Amino acid sequence: MEQQGETMQSLSEANDQLMAKNHALAKALTRATKELAKAKAQLNQLAGPPLTFATMVRVHAANTDEQGVQHASAEVISGARRMIVPVAASVPASRLEAGRTVLLNENMVIVSQHDTDTLGAVRAVKQVFDDGRLLVTDSGGNATLVRRAGILAKESINTGDRVGVDSSIRLALTLIPAEDDAELVLEETPDVTFDDIGGLDEQIERIRDAVQMPFLHRELFERYDLKPPKGVLLYGPPGNGKTLIAKAVANALAEGCGAGSGVFLSVKGPELLNKFVGESERLIRMIFKRARERAADGRPVIVFIDEMDSLLRTRGSGVSSDVETTIVPQFLSELDGVESLDNVMVIGASNRIDMIDPAVLRPGRLDVKIRVDRPKARQAGQIIRHYLTDDLPLTPGIEAKALTSVLVADIYAISEHRHLCDVCDEHGQWSPVYLADVVSGAVLKNVVDRAKTKAVKISIESAEPAAIGVDLLAKAVQEEFEETRDAILDADPVQWSRINGFDAGHVTRIRPAAQ
């Protein structure tokens, strides 16, 4: 019995070992089956014919036989080919939608449908027809008639919108969001006042008469049958306060207008120039439309266009393409439209009045032209006093007024230590150029800021507030002098004389001052 029990135990152990081996073999077989199926799938994928992309246009025909099998065909576009192809029974024909991407197998049968393609050419909508079709144009103005994709069937599309089209340019697939034009037009009420501007009393009085008075005394203008000017041009060398004056006008109108706060629309002239045909004109229309909307409730609106010469240059003067031949007429049509509107005033600023189209400057458009010239010594003192004040840490015993006098005398000195260079005009006549000849309000502010910066650095190093005195101001003037001299010597003589409005006329040569 004992021997029989040992035999049974050994058989049981052998059986367990066999079962374990059997389980291991079953697992290996399962893994092998999966690997084989995977390899077979990969082989089929590699050996299978390619699928073709196409754009769905419409279901051509669809019916179901007695056995419930679908028989359908559809019109598709693949590249430049327009085809009628069968629809696989596994693809519900009722769900095929115009504009969606479909896949065709090797037998040109639709086997699946995917989302609408979001890439492709962009066209501008020129006209919207009652039946939903769109007349679109490319950058060259060439027009094409297209249908809407299903996704656009209920979209509100207007003239001027942009749409993405398929490769055959037969279907409008997507509505392109409008460009962020808000960055081109800054709407604000500036915090600059006329008190913040020094040395421009005559110019401020003229622009107040031209701009502020018509808005604040409407009844008197009506009583005398006097129409306010439609536009004002501020011109002159850069850095002398043209933009500040425009902002101060907007601030004054906002403060003194009973109809509510005024609106200041600041337009970035160079950024309106767009390489796409018709885009700049659209932006101009958008600007004036916004001005009309803001002025509809009686609020004064200032449309300020900086660098006006870059946008409205003389027609026929374009370097690579005469875009001004369409931009200028569009601007003039909008400006002439302002005549029948109240509360809208256009203020332009330019360093190059000679480059602005004469039609823009004629009476009835930009009626008032105000030259903002370089400050003389007396005006320079008024400007500096805005930045060099008695509440600053000054040298003990010296007032800001005295420091200002010393600073102005240094900057406007007609002597060799402020002799920048010599320039030659078209007649061969050489003339000296001093710092006083090219100084601007921006330069004066920069000189004072240089001195303040030096005082801050000294204060950091010494851990005590440093005083602003004659020495720091003299060093600031010298640094400004050296930088200005280097910039002039590196500049193109003709362009420099035109931009800076130099009195010597057309400069042909510039030479360093004798050392």
DSSP string for residues in 135-196: EEE-TT--EEEEEEPGGGTT----TT-EEEE-TTS-EEEEEEPPP-GGGGEEEE-----GGG
Cβ-based neighbour number of residue 153 at 10 Å: 12
Contact 432, 503 (CB under 8 A): no
C-alpha 259, offset from chain centre? 32
> Could you say which DSSP state residue 96 is in?
-
Cβ-based neighbour number of residue 282 at 10 Å: 18
Q: If pLDDT is split at 50, 70 and 90, which confidence band does 319 have?
A: very low
Q: In this model, does residue 316 exceed pLDDT 80?
A: no
How far apart, in whole angstroms, are the C-alpha atoms of residue 438 and residue 485?
A: 10
Average pLDDT of the segment spanning 301-321 = 75
Class of 377-512 per CATH? mainly alpha
Average pLDDT of the segment spanning 302-317 = 81
Helix (H), strand (E) at residue 455: helix 441-462
How far apart, in whole angstroms, are the C-alpha atoms of residue 51 and residue 111?
A: 9
pLDDT of residue 278: 63
Higher pLDDT, 204 or 9: 204
Fold of 52-116: OB fold (Dihydrolipoamide Acetyltransferase, E2P) (2.40.50)
Each residue's pLDDT tens digit, 45-60:
555 678 889 999 999 8
Which span out of 6-20, 60-74, 472-486 was modeled with the highest average pLDDT? 472-486
Average pLDDT of the segment spanning 169-183 = 76
* Residue in the block written with tokens 């101001």: 473
Q: If pLDDT is split at 50, 70 and 90, which confidence band does 444 have?
A: very high
Q: In this model, does residue 43 exceed pLDDT 80?
A: no
Average pLDDT of the segment spanning 385-405 = 92
Order across the sheet with 301-306: list the strands: 185-188, 263-268, 301-306, 344-350, 231-235, 368-371
**Of 70-74, 298-302, 410-414, 487-491, where does mean pLDDT reach its minimum?**
298-302
pLDDT of residue 109: 92
How far apart, in whole angstroms, are the C-alpha atoms of residue 92 and residue 72?
A: 9
Nearest to 212 by CA among 338, 345, 372, 349: 345
How far apart, in whole angstroms, are the C-alpha atoms of residue 225 and residue 219?
A: 10
What are 74's two structure tokens? 């559809």
Q: Is 436 helix (H, G, I), strand (E, B) or coil?
A: helix
pLDDT of residue 110: 92
pLDDT of residue 486: 93
Higher pLDDT, 150 or 64: 150
Q: In this model, does residue 79 exceed pLDDT 60?
A: yes
pLDDT of residue 40: 75
Contact 386, 250 (CB under 8 A): no
How far apart, in whole angstroms, are the C-alpha atoms of residue 123 and residue 176?
A: 9
- Who's near 13: CB < 8 A, 6+ residues apart? none
Higher pLDDT, 148 or 248: 148
Q: In this model, does residue 202 exceed pLDDT 70?
A: yes
pLDDT of residue 255: 67
Each residue's pLDDT tens digit, 92-107:
888 899 989 999 998 8
The angle subtended at Cα 131 by Cα 126 and Cα 137, nearest 5°, is 20
What's domain 121-178's architecture?
A: Beta Barrel (2.40)
Q: Is 243 annotated as a binding residue?
A: yes
How far apart, in whole angstroms, are the C-alpha atoms of residue 475 and residue 177?
A: 54
Q: In this model, does residue 504 exceed pLDDT 50?
A: no
pLDDT of residue 16: 74
**Of 243-252, 314-323, 436-445, 450-459, where does mean pLDDT reach its minimum?**
314-323
Rg of the chain over CA atoms, in angstroms?
Answer: 38
How far apart, in whole angstroms, are the C-alpha atoms of residue 78 and residue 99?
A: 12
CB-side exposure of 259: number of CA atoms within 13 Å?
17
Average pLDDT, rounded, for the chain:
83
Q: Is 239 annotated as a binding residue?
A: yes
- Who's near 109: CB < 8 A, 6+ residues apart? 85, 86, 87, 88
Max distance between CA atoms of the chain, in angstroms, equals 140
Nearest to 294 by CA among 246, 251, 342: 342
pLDDT of residue 299: 77
Contact 118, 175 (CB under 8 A): no
Q: Is 119 annotated as a binding residue?
A: no
pLDDT of residue 341: 59
Contact 364, 346 (CB under 8 A): no
Q: If pLDDT is split at 50, 70 and 90, which confidence band does 66 have?
A: low
Kindly state the percentage of the chain with pLDDT values over 70: 86
How far apart, in whole angstroms, are the C-alpha atoms of residue 208 and residue 201?
A: 10
Q: If pLDDT is split at 50, 70 and 90, which confidence band does 411 have?
A: very high
Q: In this model, does residue 338 exceed pLDDT 70?
A: no
Q: Is 27 annotated as a binding residue?
A: no
Cβ-based neighbour number of residue 229 at 10 Å: 17
pLDDT of residue 68: 66
The angle subtended at Cα 407 by Cα 403 and Cα 412, nearest 5°, is 150
Each residue's pLDDT tens digit, 104-130:
998 899 999 998 888 888 888 888 998
Task: Provide the whole-model pTM.
Answer: 0.67
pLDDT of residue 320: 43
Each residue's pLDDT tens digit, 242-291:
888 888 887 777 665 544 466 778 876 666 776 555 667 777 888 888 88
Q: If pLDDT is split at 50, 70 and 90, which confidence band does 503 have?
A: low
> Could you say which DSSP state residue 356 is in?
B
How far apart, in whole angstroms, are the C-alpha atoms of residue 206 and residue 369?
A: 9
pLDDT of residue 381: 93
Nearest to 481 by CA among 418, 406, 415: 418
Q: In this model, does residue 182 exceed pLDDT 60?
A: no
- CATH 3.40.50.300 at 183-371, yes or no: yes
Distances (CA, A) of 105 to 84, 102, 110, 137, 231: 14, 10, 7, 34, 66
How far apart, in whole angstroms, are the C-alpha atoms of residue 405 and residue 388?
A: 11
Each residue's pLDDT tens digit, 7-22:
777 777 777 788 878 8
Each residue's pLDDT tens digit, 341-380:
567 888 889 988 888 888 888 888 888 899 998 999 999 9
Hey, do 52-116 and 121-178 end up sharing a CATH topology, with the first three levels equal?
yes
* Domain spans of the chain, in order of start: 52-116, 121-178, 183-371, 377-512
Cβ-based neighbour number of residue 79 at 10 Å: 12
Q: If pLDDT is split at 50, 70 and 90, which confidence band does 218 have?
A: confident
